[in-house]
A and B are shown apart, each in its own frame.
Chain A
């Protein structure tokens, strides 16, 4: 996150925290704070005011209000209303049917898989599934919209009134798990548009309709978020959920998940301010930056006495700023109309609303049947990790948050005798740390779970010291294929067992560093670390650092 937005967040939060601590029993009317005080851990709000300010005592500060609109491309073989294929890259216009090209006389035919995906997503997000939903046409002209209208669900969408529960790490050490939720207003099925490639040199636009007609789930969220960090965390959780369900692959870079943010600022308790819509954000990282920039920009506008315009702005990731796009707000009127070629979509439930007799089962989507196919969701998975392995919530959060890391962890834990608590340290600090440093993802880790497990076993058995183990790990990271045991053998990193030798070395270090010894004796315990380091250097890390420290302590007392 950009430093400025971090700073802003902190400023706002600090103020709010002060208010919270001063007025702990006053409830906020603002919606941006559904804190779930479960076993997941307590937290003070990171980012939002908990209290209604008594006007006389504390001046009100502007806070950000963010509502997200997410377009998630449905993971299906074919498009929403036609039988042409859904694929990310293909020769231009090769995945286009007559209907997608809007040839007159071609009609929409609904894909059952898309319906099931929307129902599953709605259920996972605690929505009410509308047993009857309708399709509408939304009219506007654009080169990538061949029919001159998009088929969507404006009047009666497939799912409403849900909740996305998400968490993020907070606190100075990023080790507190804060759980929040944002309300989902509705989920609707709609068509994606084609793609336009601007060829400015020849003053023309090239149109590729491969993406035209691909099924989208539009998730409209209530403005319950307050800053970029929350938005990024919410989107991340949504991504995980969709990927787990298999209803959307969630790759933002490939456009499978697109987020637009509606941003405004106001003083808590007062009506919401004028909002702007920020578009053109294609990664979670940029989402946070864009939102925070926009909040700050609006605050500055208001602070200098101006008014915020209701407009659409695009985010420019190079400069980190938002710029107004062409404003069509006043002109635009989508002239919604019911889609006459699609009768109402009816969903059933085997218990409460069974389908009529004799209906082809292929023509029926049963809500309860879909519910049964929902796999373990990330939130549940995190709890399960905590329960099964006794992990700390923040560790469980990190494991689930990183693609593949949980499986990696489980892989190691199941193959080693070391306790999960020990395993987790290695996985998160060492493995993940190096992956991040080198910009790799978990699947690209040169150290496999089996190798790490072997190393941890060596540690368990006392065959290698903890510091030597680090060296072995680094060697493993080079990916030469040698096992930990082999590396220990070859580099002579085995645990030094010879107590006499250790004592001798310790003593020699003590003798050769009288200054430091004096410092320790006068109470500066930190200097002991230096001595430990020197011993370790001498022993090539092979001595057990705990023992070394004990001996040195004894020797310098």
Chain B
């Protein structure tokens, strides 16, 4: 049952095949068993059990709150959770308990979902590996999967692979089957990247559709709460619950939520798929190119229109992102001074000295480096030359997308990451900045333009690790995007992770979601 989707579990609850409390206990046990993944920073055991009990009560009365009632979920530790430690994986916020819930967390709780805990991430969401955390790196559950272990001759502890980042803990939680849903954040790909490397669905909604109130910001003009689930249908369900205007966040917009689920039967012939040629970036692995081609074939053979298109400024998107990101980071991190909350150094000679030492002690090198770069770009003498220039390039990139979508393309098909998951020992050979610039190549242009995008797992690589592809949609056309993604998911039948010895759903199953759902409906 741990391997079920939300849709399946919800049905199981309603049919009484399992109760929310039982499931919650199973998940909590599984978290303990998968402790070595280091996916969780805080596990809220008592609270989860209490919430599960309440949910159970509702099901018994025949009055569940909705499709998410009783569903165990995890939240990336950069979302504020009332009275529950929220650290952003940084010493700066160790022990910090916010007095309020992030809007998206509140919405899930209001729907009766059960909070299992807060997940690990790169410190302050800066990174593409979930390797730079004050609590240690996150391990990709696939490091322990049968498919990977069969390939590898080495010891699991020496050749484990990264989850990707920065929402690695959330992705690991969902991929390792201890959680059915996790919230991540996506600024330059931080939800899609780990989703891709962990073989699950990672959705980045249109900017402004979900409230950022309570999401500790990295880049305010690009951050979006991300949704990590095991199926596209689940992601759509969660999106429907979470989207909506929030008066506490002036960057949200009103967009009517759909009344019904995504269709199960999808006619792909009316869809036009665009393949942006600039998305074959240097370093893209042969296998990913192969999958990309394979999926393009699938669409074509099914009758969809597949076109080559061009997004000419793609190459410079990462540079633009780099400047704008560091500048906003420099600004957003200015509030961490130790006076009102968070870590505070023992220095008391002057306010400035207190601030300087607090920030020295509280931030890791990555964060400090970005703050310094950002401040450099914002200096009066540099502002026009770098910051405004980056803003101009931003418009060019957004215009590129607008043009392509304006020419009749519904959805773009691209890789999500350069390759399958890298070994941790290899990944740390380069510094955080270099890795981010490499890994975010396909994902950050989407944030620059504020568009929706979803990563869908496609197949396993030669090493037995997930390879995923990304679909990018038009602004506010999240539902259409997800419909196409769902169709794709049905075609691909990506295998479920086999964590040897753990209670996944039966043996010998390498069939995907669609098959399972057919049997459970019957």
Chain A residues proximal to chain B, CB less than 8 Å: 98, 101-110, 137, 139, 141-143, 146-149, 203-205, 207, 333-337, 340-343
Contact = CB atoms under 8 A, between A and B. Distances in A.
B254 to A, nearest CB: 11
B136 interface: no
Contacts of A139: 331, 334, 378
A199 to B, nearest CB: 13
Kindly list the 8 A-B residue pairs having the minimum CB-CB distance in the complex, ordered from nearest: A148-B334, A335-B378, A340-B220, A340-B221, A104-B216, A105-B214, A102-B335, A147-B335
A103 B97 CA distance: 11
Interface stretch (B152-160, B336-344, B418-426): B336-344
B380 interface: yes
Contact of B217 (A101, A104, A143, A337): A104
Given A333-B380, A337-B387, 4 more contacts: A105-B79, A105-B100, A107-B250, A340-B220
Contact of B100 (A98, A102, A109, A110): A98
25 contacts: A98-B99, A103-B340, A104-B93, A104-B332, A105-B214, A105-B215, A105-B217, A106-B213, A106-B248, A107-B249, A107-B251, A137-B331, A141-B337, A141-B352, A141-B355, A146-B337, A146-B339, A149-B331, A333-B380, A334-B380, A335-B383, A336-B383, A340-B220, A340-B221, A340-B251
Contact of A337 (B100, B351, B378): B378
Q: Decide if the interface of chain B is mainly helix, strand, loop or mixed.
A: loop
B98 interface: yes
Contacts of A203: 348
A482 to B, nearest CB: 61
Contacts of B219: 340
A337 B328 contact: yes
Contacts of B213: 105-107
B47 interface: no
Given A137-B331, A139-B331, A141-B352, A108 B250 contact: yes
Given A103-B99, A105-B80, A333-B379, A343 B250 contact: yes
A142 B337 CA distance: 10
A47 to B, nearest CB: 36
Contacts of B249: 107, 341
Nearest to A149: B334
B222 to A, nearest CB: 9
B335 A148 contact: yes
A109 B251 CA distance: 10
A277 to B, nearest CB: 18
Given A104-B335, A143-B339, A148-B334, A110 B250 contact: yes
A336 B387 CA distance: 11
Nearest to B215: A105
A341 B339 contact: no
B504 interface: no
B212 interface: yes
Contact of A341 (B102, B251, B333): B251
Q: Which of A103, A147, A203, A335 counts the most B-chain CB atoms under 10 A from its CB?
A: A335
Contacts of A101: 340-341
Interface in B236-275: 247-251
Given A98-B100, A143-B351, A148-B337, A335 B217 contact: no
Interface of B: 79-80, 88, 93, 98-100, 102, 212-217, 219-221, 247-251, 327-328, 330-337, 339-341, 348, 351-352, 355, 375, 378-380, 383, 387
Q: Decide if the interface of chain A is mainly helix, strand, loop or mixed.
A: loop
Contacts of B339: 143, 146, 207
Nearest to B391: A338
Contacts of A147: 334-335
A335 B330 contact: yes
B387 A103 contact: no
Contacts of B100: 98, 103, 105
Given A105-B214, A333-B379, A341 B250 contact: yes
Contacts of A336: 378, 383
Contacts of B380: 333-335
Contacts of B340: 101-103, 146
Contacts of B328: 337, 340
Contacts of B335: 102, 104, 146-148
Contacts of A337: 327-328, 331, 378, 387
B252 to A, nearest CB: 10
Contacts of B379: 333, 335
A109 B249 CA distance: 7
A105 B102 CA distance: 8
A105 B213 CA distance: 6
A343 B217 contact: no
B208 to A, nearest CB: 10
Contacts of A340: 219-221, 251, 328
Contacts of B348: 203-204
Contacts of A333: 379-380
A109 B217 contact: no
A341 B220 contact: yes
Contacts of A105: 79-80, 98, 100, 102, 212-217
Given A104-B216, A139-B334, A205-B351, A335 B250 contact: no
